[in-house]
C-alpha cells in the first residue's frame, strides 16, 4: 500500500522511503528517531526551498513562516510522526498539502493580509513517550513541562534527555505565550480515519468535533517463577489476571453507548516463554463523547482488573498516561471555511488531533480528505490522487479566503 500511497499526493513520494517498517509493514516514525530526524530535515529543506523562513520552537515543533511571524497568523500543517506500523497519510498528508497550498498561493502572486505559516507538530501519536499530541500540549500548556520532561521511552531515556540530544533546551520547554499570541487560526488538513466521507460520497469535509480520549496503564504484578516446576495451584500469574481483564473490556465499553476501549499493547516482564511473568503492563485507550462516560468506563475497567488480580493473588494498579477531553471546534472558522468551499459536510471524529488540543488556546479548524479504505493507523490507510488534489484545492481556497485577497 505504501507504494500506492506514495503516488497519491506527489510530495508524499518524496518521503515514501523514510521510516518504512519492514517488520510491521507501513511506517514507524517516532519523535527524534532516525526517521523523524530525516523527515524534519526534509521539511526544513522543502519549506526553505519555497521561500518560507524556518524556525524551531521551544517544544520540538517546526514553523515555516511566509511573512513576519504573527500576530493573527493563519497556520496550517500537521505532524510527521506515526504510530508503530502506521499508514503513509496520517499526519504527512496535512504537511505536504500545506506546503503545496502555500506554494500555490505564493506562485499565484497572492498577497495575504496576515502572516501565513506551515507547522509540523512533534510526537502527535505519542508513540515514543506515551502522551498523544505532546508538542501541541506543551506549546498550549495542556501538559506541564515538568511532567513531560520526566516521561520515559521504552529504553528509559527521558524526554528531557532526548530533547537535549536533539539540540533543544529542556529548561525552555512549556507553554509558549509569545508563540500562541501569533496564531490567529490553526487549520489542519488530515486524512479521514473513518468512513464518514465514503458514506457521504464526497472527497472533502470539515471537522465538527473530536472525541475525548485518554491512555492508561494497567500494571498487574505477581510472582515470576518457573513454568515447569510451579504447580498451577501455586501460581500468582499476572498474565492470567491481565487476560481475564482484557477479555471483558470490549463488553464493558459496549455497555456505554458510543464508548470505545482498546488494548493494543501488552508488555510482559521478563517476557520468557518458559517464565511465569512477574509483571504485565496492559495499555488501554478509551474514548467517548461525554468525558464522564470515559472516566466511568475506565474506573469500571480498573475495578475489574483489581478483582481479577486479587483472584490470582496479584495486584493491579491503574495509572493515567494521557488525557484530552472532547472538543467541539468553534463555529466561526468552520462557517467561514464552508462559506469559501461551498456545502462541504461537517464530520465528528474519534481520532485525536493537534487542532483539538490547540483549540483550548487558539481558534482551530480542520479539513478531512476521504480515505476509501476507512482504515487508519494501519498500512491500508489511503487517499486517492484525485482526493489528495481536492484536499489541496480546498486548503488553498480556504487559506485564500481566510487570509484575504489583495
Ligand atoms: C491519534 O491519531 C489518536 O487518535 O490517538
Ligand atoms: Mn494518528
Ligand atoms: Mn494524525
- Average pLDDT rounded to a whole number, residues 328-335: 97
pLDDT at site 404: 82
Evaluate whether residue 138 is within a structural domain: yes
Write the CATH number for 243: 3.30.70.360
| Ligand 1 atom closest to residue 125's alpha carbon, by position in its atom list | 1
Looking at the fold, whether 309 and 334 belong to one and the same domain comes out as no
Alpha helix (H) residue ranges in 121-192: 134-140, 145-149, 159-165, 177-180
User: Residue 285 Cα, ligand 1 centroid: separation in angstroms?
Assistant: 10
User: For residues 228 and 307, what is the distance between their CA atoms, to the nearest angstrom?
Assistant: 27
Looking at the fold, whether 191 and 245 belong to one and the same domain comes out as no
For 23, which DSSP code?
T
Q: Does the pLDDT of residue 382 top 90, yes or no?
A: yes
Which of 269, 294, 323 terminates a domain? The answer is 323
Does residue 191 line the site of ligand 1, with CB under 6 A? Answer: no
Does residue 192 line the site of ligand 1, with CB under 6 A? Answer: no
Looking at the fold, whether 159 and 248 belong to one and the same domain comes out as no
Q: Does the pLDDT of residue 392 top 90, yes or no?
A: yes
Q: Mind listing the pLDDT tens digit for each residue in 72-105? A: 999 999 999 999 999 999 999 999 999 999 999 9
**Relative to the alpha carbon of 351, which ligand is closest?**
1
Q: Give the pLDDT band of residue 3 (cuts 50, 70, 90).
A: very low
**Residue with CA nearest ligand 1 atom 5:** 352
Per-chain mean pLDDT for the chain: 96
Percentage with pLDDT > 70 across the chain: 98
User: Residue 90 Cα, ligand 3 centroid: separation in angstroms?
Assistant: 5
User: What is the dihedral angle through the alpha carbons of 145, 351, 329, 120, rounded to the nearest 10 degrees?
Assistant: 50
User: Residue 351 Cα, ligand 1 centroid: separation in angstroms?
Assistant: 5
- Average pLDDT rounded to a whole number, residues 30-47: 98
Evaluate whether residue 2 is within a structural domain: no
- Average pLDDT rounded to a whole number, residues 162-191: 98
Does residue 125 line the site of ligand 1, with CB under 6 A? Answer: yes
CA 294 to chain centre: 19
Give the residue, out of 30, 79, 83, with the most ligand 1 atoms within 8 A of its beta carbon, to mutate for a pocket test: 83
User: Residue 374 Cα, ligand 1 centroid: separation in angstroms?
Assistant: 15
Evaluate whether residue 1 is within a structural domain: no
pLDDT at site 23: 97
Q: Does the pLDDT of residue 8 top 80, yes or no?
A: no
| Ligand 1 atom closest to residue 376's alpha carbon, by position in its atom list | 2
User: Residue 7 Cα, ligand 1 centroid: separation in angstroms?
Assistant: 24
Looking at the fold, whether 136 and 281 belong to one and the same domain comes out as no
Evaluate whether residue 271 is within a structural domain: yes
Looking at the fold, whether 302 and 342 belong to one and the same domain comes out as no
Write the CATH number for 122: 3.40.630.10
Looking at the fold, whether 220 and 315 belong to one and the same domain comes out as yes
User: For residues 288 and 376, what is the distance between their CA atoms, to the nearest angstrom?
Assistant: 18
User: Residue 280 Cα, ligand 2 centroid: separation in angstroms?
Assistant: 25
Evaluate whether residue 3 is within a structural domain: no
User: Residue 205 Cα, ligand 1 centroid: separation in angstroms?
Assistant: 18
User: Residue 124 Cα, ligand 3 centroid: separation in angstroms?
Assistant: 7
Looking at the fold, whether 201 and 228 belong to one and the same domain comes out as no
Evaluate whether residue 67 is within a structural domain: yes
Which of 284, 301, 323 terminates a domain? The answer is 323
Q: Mind listing the pLDDT tens digit for each residue in 187-237? A: 999 999 999 999 999 999 999 999 999 999 999 999 999 999 999 999 999
- Average pLDDT rounded to a whole number, residues 376-387: 97
Please, which residues have CB within 8 angstroms of residue 267's CB and are 6 or more apart in sequence? Answer: 280, 281, 283
Evaluate whether residue 260 is within a structural domain: yes
Looking at the fold, whether 84 and 135 belong to one and the same domain comes out as yes
**Number of domains, the chain:** 2
Looking at the fold, whether 206 and 217 belong to one and the same domain comes out as no
CA 115 to chain centre: 26
**Relative to the alpha carbon of 215, which ligand is closest?**
1
Residues 63/119, Cβ–Cβ less than 8 Å: yes
Does residue 86 line the site of ligand 1, with CB under 6 A? Answer: no
**Residue with CA nearest ligand 1 atom 3:** 352
Give the residue, out of 211, 322, 353, with the most ligand 1 atoms within 8 A of its beta carbon, to mutate for a pocket test: 353
Alpha helix (H) residue ranges in 168-220: 177-180, 196-200
Residues 31/39, Cβ–Cβ less than 8 Å: no
Pairing verdict, β 279-288 and 212-221: antiparallel
Looking at the fold, whether 347 and 259 belong to one and the same domain comes out as no
Beta strand ranges found along 110-152 (DSSP E): 116-121
User: Residue 193 Cα, ligand 3 centroid: separation in angstroms?
Assistant: 9
Does residue 351 line the site of ligand 1, with CB under 6 A? Answer: yes
Q: Does the pLDDT of residue 7 top 60, yes or no?
A: no
Which of 278, 306, 323 terminates a domain? The answer is 323
Q: Does the pLDDT of residue 317 top 90, yes or no?
A: yes
Looking at the fold, whether 197 and 222 belong to one and the same domain comes out as no
For residue 272, count other CB atoms closer than 10 A to its CB: 11
For residue 321, count other CB atoms closer than 10 A to its CB: 17
Q: Does the pLDDT of residue 343 top 90, yes or no?
A: no
| Ligand 1 atom closest to residue 352's alpha carbon, by position in its atom list | 4
Give the residue, out of 351, 371, 375, 378, with the most ligand 1 atoms within 8 A of its beta carbon, to mutate for a pocket test: 351
| Domain extent at residue 223 | 213-323
Evaluate whether residue 391 is within a structural domain: yes
Looking at the fold, whether 224 and 123 belong to one and the same domain comes out as no
pLDDT at site 9: 76
- Average pLDDT rounded to a whole number, residues 63-67: 96
Q: Give the pLDDT band of residue 6 (cuts 50, 70, 90).
A: very low
* Residue whose entry in the numeric block shows the C-alpha cell 489583495: 406
Amino acid at each position: 500500500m505504501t507504494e500506492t500511497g506514495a503516488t497519491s499526493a506527489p510530495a508524499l513520494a518524496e518521503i515514501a522511503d523514510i521510516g518504512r517498517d519492514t517488520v510491521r509493514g507501513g511506517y514507524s516514525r517516532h519523535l527524534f528517531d532516525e526517521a523523524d530526524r530525516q523527515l524534519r530535515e526534509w521539511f526544513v529543506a522543502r519549506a526553505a526551498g519555497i521561500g518560507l523562513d524556518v524556525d524551531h520552537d521551544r517544544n520540538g515543533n517546526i514553523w515555516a513562516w511566509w511573512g513576519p511571524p504573527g500576530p493573527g497568523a493563519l497556520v496550517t500543517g500537521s505532524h510527521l510522526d506515526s504510530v508503530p506500523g502506521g499508514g503513509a497519510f496520517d499526519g504527512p498528508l496535512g504537511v505536504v498539502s500545506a506546503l503545496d497550498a502555500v506554494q500555490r498561493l505564493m506562485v499565484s502572486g497572492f498577497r495575504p493580509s496576515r502572516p501565513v505559516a506551515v507547522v509540523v507538530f512533534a510526537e502527535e501519536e505519542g508513540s515514543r513517550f506515551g502522551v498523544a499530541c505532546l508538542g501541541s500540549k506543551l506549546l498550549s500548556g495542556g501538559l506541564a513541562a515538568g511532567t513531560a520532561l520526566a516521561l520515559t521511552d521504552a529504553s528509559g531515556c527521558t524526554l528531557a534527555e532526548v530533547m537535549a540530544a536533539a539540540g533543544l533546551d529542556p529548561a525552555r520547554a512549556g507553554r509558549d505565550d509569545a508563540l500562541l499570541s501569533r496564531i490567529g487560526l490553526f487549520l489542519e488538513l488530515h486524512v479521514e480515519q473513518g468512513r464518514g466521507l465514503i458514506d457521504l460520497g464526497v472527497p472533502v469535509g470539515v471537522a465538527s468535533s473530536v472525541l475525548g480520549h485518554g491512555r492508561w496503564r494497567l500494571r498487574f504484578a505477581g510472582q515470576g517463577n518457573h513454568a515447569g516446576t510451579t504447580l498451577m495451584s501455586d501460581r500468582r500469574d499476572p498474565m492470567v489476571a491481565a487476560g481475564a481483564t482484557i477479555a471483558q473490556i470490549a463488553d464493558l465499553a459496549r455497555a456505554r453507548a458510543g464508548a470505545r476501549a482498546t488494548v493494543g499493547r501488552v508488555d510482559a516482564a521478563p517476557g520468557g516463554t518458559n517464565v511465569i511473568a512477574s509483571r504485565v503492563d496492559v495499555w488501554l485507550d478509551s474514548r467517548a463523547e461525554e468525558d464522564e462516560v470515559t472516566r466511568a468506563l475506565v474506573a469500571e475497567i480498573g475495578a475489574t482488573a483489581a478483582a481479577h488480580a486479587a483472584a490470582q493473588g496479584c495486584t493491579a494498579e491503574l495509572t493515567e498516561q494521557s488525557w484530552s477531553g472532547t472538543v467541539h471546534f468553534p463555529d466561526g472558522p468552520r462557517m467561514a471555511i464552508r462559506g469559501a468551499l461551498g456545502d462541504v459536510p461537517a464530520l465528528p471524529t474519534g481520532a485525536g488531533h493537534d487542532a483539538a488540543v490547540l483549540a483550548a488556546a487558539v481558534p482551530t479548524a480542520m479539513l478531512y480528505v476521504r480515505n476509501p479504505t476507512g482504515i487508519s493507523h494501519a498500512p491500508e490507510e489511503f487517499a486517492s490522487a484525485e482526493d489528495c488534489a481536492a484536499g489541496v484545492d480546498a486548503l488553498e481556497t480556504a487559506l485564500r479566503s481566510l487570509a484575504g485577497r489583495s
